[in-house]
Amino acid sequence: MALAELSGDAQRIIFSQLCNPLDPGVAVAFSSTSSELRELTQAPRQQLKADYKAATRLSFKLGEAGCKTLREAKKVVRMHGRGSLEPKDLALLGTLGSVLPALEKLTLGSQGGLEGMQPLAEKLGAGALPAVTTLVFCFMRVGDAGASALAAALDRGALPRLKRLSLGGRRISLGERRDMGDAGLVALAPALRRRPALEVLELGDNPFGDEGLAALVAPPPQAGALPLPTGVLPKLERLQLSFTRITDDGCAALAAALDSGALPALEHVCLDGIPASDAAKAAVGEALLTKSLAAAALS
């Protein structure tokens, strides 16, 4: 069917599907195929131009030379000293998640403790950041609202290849109150448990405790819920829980989960700086050792 035979609405839909703020040339070229189409797409072309300018500014903040390098980047590491990131920058990055097919590692940091997870995650659509295996938030607050937003994004199908998730907060001894607490981890845990490819989970320096940990490793069964395949987080190798508020009860829940066959690949658990007793932490170590020896005997 010739383009001219399509309705104006159909032509606008095609144009919108071609719009890519990191590579607007294709949509612009399409809109130039006829004077009628150029007239139909005048307003969205202006919006695309504004989106391209905003994406260009964001690429500079992320340490890239422009939209082309951001589009092709396999790794983006944005720490301090490259211009302050703002919530609107994180929201824009979320909307660009569908047009960053090469990105494998995303590391974001903020010296001022920006609450960045919620604006980022709320804009991540289904299949966003399709190649990302590592997502690291460093000194950037997640918060309970951010954890809930990330859970929703994961359940929408964002970050389908995620293997390492690092949501380190700021040291709770500094009095931070907007990092991820029990409510946040309780909200996030089911989405993480539905990610069997997850290998590394780093949650240190967040003020959650036994309730949040139990939701992750040993939640009570829900009536009518389908069982998870191959246990809990079957590929998880490293669990970082240092400087959280986990007590003896949380350590006991983790040790019991290990004894029950959950977390079968877990090799390293970091429990430094938590209020649990040395005996409780030692029990987790013994459970890890017993699991490792049993696995070695079967190999």
Q: Which of 8-12, 26-30, 102-106, 133-137 has the lowest mean pLDDT?
A: 8-12
Residue 156 belongs to a domain with what CATH number?
Answer: 3.80.10.10
Residue that is last in its domain, among 66, 82, 114: 66
Q: Which residue has the tokens 């990191």?
A: 22
Write out pLDDT tens, residues 101-131.
999 999 998 766 677 899 999 999 999 999 9
Token readout for 182 is: 């029990």
Nearest to 129 by CA among 195, 203, 187, 71: 71
Total domains in the chain come to 2
Give CA–CA dist 255/17, Å, rounded.
50
pLDDT at res. 30: 87
- What is the pLDDT, as a whole number, of residue 172? 45
Q: Is the pLDDT of residue 48 over 50?
A: yes
Domain with 23, as residue range(s), is 10-66
Cα separation, 87 vs 119, whole angstroms: 6
What is the four-CA torsion angle of 199, 205, 207, 208, rounded to 10 degrees? 20
State residue 222's pLDDT score: 56
pLDDT of residue 58: 95
- How many angstroms separate the CA atoms of 33 and 66, rounded? 27
* CA proximity to 250, closest of 208, 278, 204, 214: 214
The mean per-residue pLDDT over the stretch 285-296 comes to 89
| Beta carbons within 8 Å of 298's beta carbon, 6+ residues apart | none
Q: What mean pLDDT value characterizes the chain?
A: 88
pTM listed for this prediction: 0.90
Q: Are 129 and 160 part of one and the same domain? A: yes
Q: CA angle, 226 as apex, 222 and 229 as ends, to 5°?
A: 120
Residue 106 lies in a domain: yes
Same domain, yes or no: 49 and 171: no
CA separation for the pair 108, 74 (Å, rounded): 14
Q: Bigger pLDDT: 237 or 41? A: 237
Q: How many helices (H) and strands (E) would you count in the chain?
A: 12, 7
Are 86 and 103 found together in one domain?
Answer: yes
Do 20 and 150 reside in the same domain of the chain? no
- In this structure, are residues 41 and 33 in contact, taking their beta carbons and an 8 Å threshold? no
Q: Do 132 and 259 lie in a common domain?
A: yes
Residue 2: predicted pLDDT: 62
Whether 203 and 159 map to the same domain: the answer is yes
Quickly count: other Cβ atoms within 10 Å of residue 206's Cβ: 30
Pair (129, 210) in one structural domain: yes
